[in-house]
């Protein structure tokens, strides 16, 4: 069986989220980290393959090149449809690369129109009249306005996309979606006849996304977050939905957090409130030359090996701003990612076999440091947060890559307790 849906995700936790959505739709799904090459493994009998890039904050030309390389790899493995996965909060700036990447993939796939919808209802992301909401707030009123790399200060998807593409942008609003897949297909065709290339669709519920998935079933390029991916996945049913996954490996459990998102900060607080051990990395001390990785490892070695241990750089907005003012945004991010990557390798060396990583950029740093290329996607601890099964130079690893704002407040405690 060849891959039916190929997906290109712009960060690692986004890749995990969308891979979980395809698996939920009943597809056997592989997740590949970084631009693949001829030697990149793909588990047998996969219906969906997700390539997780680290392109969300990259300049447009770089993101386009990486996405086209991923598309060629996916197309050569049979994928007739490419799903472009970006953040459900549409993380990007006017210089953002969602428009350029989509335009380049449309050209490469010989298509002239695409459907776009970042709604992800289980995580509170909905689209109404082209405006993106995070729970009960407009995106631009939500905590995402303080994001360290892509602060989101506009909620209008047509406006955000129009700033990123020279091509016309259109909207299919909720009443049409509620009339069903045929009505959406007709509206798409009407937009296509008018020369519109990017058609944004409203969606409030998973049922709306199932309608959009059915309507977009034949489109060569579709874009959005995990919600529309699940809708598309359900339009490509697998005859045999049995999934077999290896049992979680035994060994120590740890959390590494580099996400400063509001939800991650709550999950850290909950972990600490449960009396579980945690250690904060002092980024400014590291910049001043202190070996904070050695400090963290000495701390880790002194903990009860029966308990999960948390090491984090995460900081609330005022502290984050102070570090960024002192070091610069890019330098601060690179330094933190370097520290957490080095720690991941050292922790796995010390016998950690269940590792939960919080933050998309952070997850990229960790999988790179562990040299993990492909994982098989397993069951979810929370919507969009699955365990995955990885093989490393040190043996099998159960790895959970969590998007900054994903997971319930007790995720860190529950996921690692359940697995212990
Ligand atoms: N104390 C800190 N000072 C400065 N930068 C930090 C600090 N802690 C984390 N960072 C940086 O903030 C960024 C957080 O991004 P990351 O993608 O890991 O999390 P997120 O944005 O919450 O997650 P997602 O992308 O999944 O929504 C990283 O580049 C990280 O290195
Ligand atoms: O869509 C989302 O919100 C997540 O998968 C994500 O991409 C956050 O990094």
Nearest ligand, CA of residue 144? Answer: 1
Nearest ligand, CA of residue 332? Answer: 1
The CATH number linked to 411 is: 3.40.980.20
The minimum-distance atom of ligand 2 relative to the CA of 16 is 5
Do 266 and 199 lie in one domain? The reply is: no
CA distance linking residue 318 with residue 36, whole number of Å: 38
> Is 406 within a domain?
yes
CA distance linking residue 249 with residue 387, whole number of Å: 12
CA of 262 from ligand 1 middle (Å) equals 11
Backbone phi and psi for residue 377, each to the nearest 5 degrees, phi listed first: -85, 135
Give yes or no for residue 385 CB within 6 A of ligand 1. no
pLDDT of residue 93: 72
Do 49 and 102 lie in one domain? The reply is: yes
Do 259 and 398 lie in one domain? The reply is: yes
Q: Which one-letter DSSP state was computed for residue 302? A: T
Task: Give the mutation target among 12, 258, 314, 325 for probing the ligand 1 site: most ligand atoms within 8 A of CB.
Answer: 258
Paired tokens of 34: 């970084």
pLDDT of residue 392: 85
> Is 137 within a domain?
yes
Do 26 and 166 lie in one domain? The reply is: yes
Give yes or no for residue 314 CB within 6 A of ligand 1. yes
Strand-pair category, 198-201 with 169-172: parallel
pLDDT of residue 151: 81
Do 228 and 316 lie in one domain? The reply is: no
Of all protein residues, whose CA lies closest to atom 9 belonging to ligand 1?
A: 258
> Is 348 within a domain?
yes
Task: Report in angstroms the alpha-carbon separations of 364 from 33, 140, 286, 358, 394.
Answer: 8, 26, 21, 10, 19
> Is 243 within a domain?
no
Q: What's the number of domains the chain is made of?
A: 2
CA of 86 from ligand 2 middle (Å) equals 7
Do 144 and 273 lie in one domain? The reply is: no
Residue at which a domain ends, from 181, 202, 234:
234
The minimum-distance atom of ligand 2 relative to the CA of 125 is 3
Nearest ligand, CA of residue 227? Answer: 2
CA distance linking residue 143 with residue 136, whole number of Å: 12
pLDDT of residue 123: 87
Do 290 and 147 lie in one domain? The reply is: no
Give yes or no for residue 208 CB within 6 A of ligand 1. no
The CATH number linked to 101 is: 3.40.50.10840
Do 226 and 257 lie in one domain? The reply is: no
Structural domain of 409: 252-419
Do 222 and 264 lie in one domain? The reply is: no
Do 268 and 195 lie in one domain? The reply is: no
> Is 240 within a domain?
no
> Is 324 within a domain?
yes
Do 193 and 257 lie in one domain? The reply is: no
Residue at which a domain ends, from 175, 202, 234:
234
Nearest ligand, CA of residue 52? Answer: 2
Do 288 and 401 lie in one domain? The reply is: yes
Of all protein residues, whose CA lies closest to atom 3 belonging to ligand 2?
A: 88
pLDDT of residue 106: 98
The pTM is what? 0.87
pLDDT string in tens for the chain (420-residue length) = 689 999 999 988 899 999 999 999 999 999 999 999 988 888 888 999 999 998 998 999 999 999 999 999 999 999 999 999 999 999 877 689 999 999 999 999 999 999 999 999 988 999 999 999 999 999 998 888 887 777 888 899 999 999 999 999 999 999 999 999 999 999 999 999 999 999 999 999 999 999 999 999 999 999 999 999 999 999 987 766 555 666 777 789 999 999 999 999 999 999 999 999 999 999 999 999 999 999 999 999 999 999 999 999 999 999 999 999 999 999 999 999 999 999 999 999 999 999 999 998 899 899 999 999 999 999 899 988 999 999 888 778 999 999 898 999 999 999 998 543
CA 20 and chain centroid, separation = 10
Of all protein residues, whose CA lies closest to atom 25 belonging to ligand 1?
A: 360
């Amino acid at each position: 069986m060849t891959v039916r849906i190929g997906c290109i995700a712009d960060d690692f936790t986004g890749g995990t989220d969308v891979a979980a959505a395809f698996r939920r739709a009943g597809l056997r799904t592989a997740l590949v980290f970084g631009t693949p090459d001829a030697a990149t493994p793909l588990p047998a009998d996969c219906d969906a393959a997700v390539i997780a890039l680290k392109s969300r904050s990259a300049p447009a030309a770089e993101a386009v090149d990486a996405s086209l390389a991923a598309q060629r790899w996916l197309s050569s493995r049979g994928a007739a449809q490419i799903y472009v996965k970006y953040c459900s909060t549409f993380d990007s700036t006017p210089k953002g690369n969602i428009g350029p990447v989509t335009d380049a993939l449309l050209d490469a796939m010989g298509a002239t129109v695409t459907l776009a919808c970042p709604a992800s209802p289980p995580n509170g992301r909905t689209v109404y009249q082209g405006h993106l909401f995070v729970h009960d707030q407009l995106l631009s009123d939500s905590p995402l306005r303080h994001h360290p790399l892509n602060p989101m200060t506009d909620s209008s998807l047509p406006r955000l996309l129009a700033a990123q593409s020279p091509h016309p942008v259109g909207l299919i609003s909720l009443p049409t979606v509620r009339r069903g897949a045929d009505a959406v297909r007709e509206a798409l065709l009407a937009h296509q006849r008018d020369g519109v290339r990017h058609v944004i669709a409203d969606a409030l519920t998973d049922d709306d996304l199932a309608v959009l998935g059915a309507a977009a079933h034949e489109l060569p390029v579709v874009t959005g977050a995990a919600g529309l991916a699940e809708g598309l996945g359900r339009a490509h049913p697998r005859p045999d939905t049995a999934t077999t996954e290896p049992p979680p490996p035994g060994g120590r459990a740890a959390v590494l957090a580099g996400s400063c998102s509001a939800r991650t900060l709550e999950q850290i607080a909950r972990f600490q409130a449960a009396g579980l051990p945690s250690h904060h990395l002092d980024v400014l001390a590291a910049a001043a030359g202190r070996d904070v990785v050695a400090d963290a490892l000495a701390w880790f070695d002194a903990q009860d090996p029966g308990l999960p241990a948390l090491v984090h750089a995460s900081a609330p907005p005022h502290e984050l701003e102070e570090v960024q003012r002192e070091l610069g945004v890019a330098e601060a991010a690179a330094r933190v990612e370097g520290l957490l990557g080095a720690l991941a390798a050292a922790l796995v060396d010390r016998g950690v076999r269940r590792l939960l990583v919080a933050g998309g950029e952070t997850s990229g740093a960790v999988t790179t440091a562990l040299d993990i290329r492909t994982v098989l996607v397993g069951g979810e601890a929370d919507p969009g947060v699955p365990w995955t099964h990885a093989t490393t130079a040190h043996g099998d690893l159960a790895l959970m890559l969590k998007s900054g704002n994903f997971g319930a407040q007790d995720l860190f405690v529950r996921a690692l307790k359940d697995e212990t």
